[in-house]
Structure 1
Amino acid sequence: MPDINESMLNQFRPVLRRFIDPIADRIAVPADYITLTGFLVACAASAGYASGSLITGALLLAASGFIDVLDGAVARRRFRPTAFGGFLDSTLDRLSDGIIIIGVTAGGFTGLLTGLLALHSGLMVSYVRARAESMGIACAVGIAERAERIIIILAGSLAGYFIHPWLMDAAIIVLAAAGYFTMIQRMIYVWRSTKSN
């Protein structure tokens, strides 16, 4: 049984790498440019949601997520990863996360309060990890890291498109709850790490 503190998708990373790495090996574009492209696609996804199209938003969000995975593989296999590249990727990921939630809320697929809670929980998940790492504690734990949060939005988008739009609202509620739960997991993990030291 996987550890509840572990990201649910971590166990699939080796399988994903077998698919992504051959693609990354063929790309000669620097990873930072791929990162920027992924951010622009996320902005387009947000615009799709804001315009009222769940399917457009979902397809563009899926493309953005794929590009986000690809840029890391390109940096790892084709170019030497840089400190700035990691910083840029992390910063644009946070911007993308926020922009997507703003688009979903602007499109009327969730209420303002729910959208704000989802936005806040996502920021807190990232902040707790960044603060822990500034203390020298690796904190990539929790049931809902970025990949899981994107999948929740994608699942809600598809369910909302094919079944009923209120399912997208339900997905954003789940997203907010999962974010706060992950934040608590990380706080407990850091507390235990500091106690053991």
Structure 2
Amino acid sequence: MLNGLRGVMAKIFTPIARFLLKLGITPDAVTVAGTLGVIAVALWLFPQGNLIAGSLLLGLLVFTDSLDGTMARLSGRSGPWGAFLDSTLDRLADGAIFVGLAMYFAWTSPSNNHLGMSAALASLVLGLCVSYARARAEGLGLDGNVGIAERPERLVVSLVAALIAGLTDQPAVLAWALVFLAAISAVTLVQRITHVRSQTLVAREEP
């Protein structure tokens, strides 16, 4: 759904990407730095209850996620290694965000502690399963890129909910948003499993 924004973001980041390349900064360095930034913000600000600052900073870092890809294309370094590194570190970044939210409910939130913490951890596990299902399908030569809640949608739901909860001082907003996120992640996982299953059945029936 939100993947269509990548082309727009690439155009916006092109001047920045050219500037960073002139400085001798590599796409891999940007990928690693962005991931470390997400991990630091998520595991430092969220557990302390700084939902507003945390969600805004993470939103900025997440929307610059295409910067390394733009740099790779401009420098002619696009390839399997960059895609592998980016996807792998994305899982670390996602994990940090949801662990940070779970820690917020465990340490700081005055209400909805158990619900929010459980939903955050469920969103983490199901999100990883959704990503793995696609990667495994593609590794087998199949298509697994379907579903209502891909990574961009999951991040938008979690960060917008965290921002609203921080602005309104209502942890319940975030807790129930994470419940919703876990539910749509589960639906997406089932959609991908079903989609891959249908492809294997068709391949089996072909002469």
TM-score of the two chains, using structure 2 as the length reference? 0.84
Output the amino acid matched with 1:177: A
Report if the CA contact (8 A) 2:3-2:152 is conserved: no
* TM-aligned CA distance change 1:10 to 1:39, over 3 Å: closer
1:70 is matched with: 67
Find out whether 1:181 has 2:179 as its counterpart: no
Structure 1 segment 16-95 matched on structure 2, within 5 A: 16-28=9-21, 29-46=25-42, 47-95=44-92
Q: Which runs of 5+ in 2 are unaligned?
A: none
Deviates more, 1:138-147 or 1:10-19: 10-19
Aligned partners of 1:132 and 1:51: how far apart in 2? 39
Aligned partners of 1:20 and 1:141: how far apart in 2? 27
Aligned partners of 2:202 and 2:15: how far apart in 1? 41
2:171 is matched with: 165
Count of equivalent residues: 190
Find out whether 1:138 has 2:143 as its counterpart: yes
Q: Which runs of 5+ in 1 are unaligned?
A: 1-7
- C-alpha displacement of 1:139: 2.0
Find out whether 1:195 has 2:192 as its counterpart: no
TM-score of the two chains, using structure 1 as the length reference? 0.88
- C-alpha displacement of 1:71: 1.2
Aligned partners of 2:155 and 2:89: how far apart in 1? 15
Aligned partners of 2:201 and 2:94: how far apart in 1? 32
Output the amino acid matched with 2:12: F
- C-alpha displacement of 1:64: 2.0
- The higher radius of gyration belongs to 2
Large movers: runs of 4+ above 4 Å: none
- C-alpha displacement of 1:172: 1.2
Aligned partners of 2:126 and 2:167: how far apart in 1? 27
- C-alpha displacement of 1:23: 3.1
Higher relative contact order (CA 8 A, sep 6+): 1
Aligned partner of 1:155 among 160, 165, 178:
160
Report if the CA contact (8 A) 1:48-1:57 is conserved: yes
Identity %: 40
Aligned partners of 2:14 and 2:176: how far apart in 1? 35
Aligned partners of 1:40 and 1:10: how far apart in 2? 23
Report if the CA contact (8 A) 1:153-1:168 is conserved: yes
* TM-aligned CA distance change 1:15 to 1:85, over 3 Å: closer
- Post-superposition CA distance 1:109-134 (Å, at most 9, x none): 55332222111111110111121011
1:5 is matched with: none
Report if the CA contact (8 A) 1:155-1:171 is conserved: no
Query: RMSD of the TM alignment (CA)?
Result: 1.7
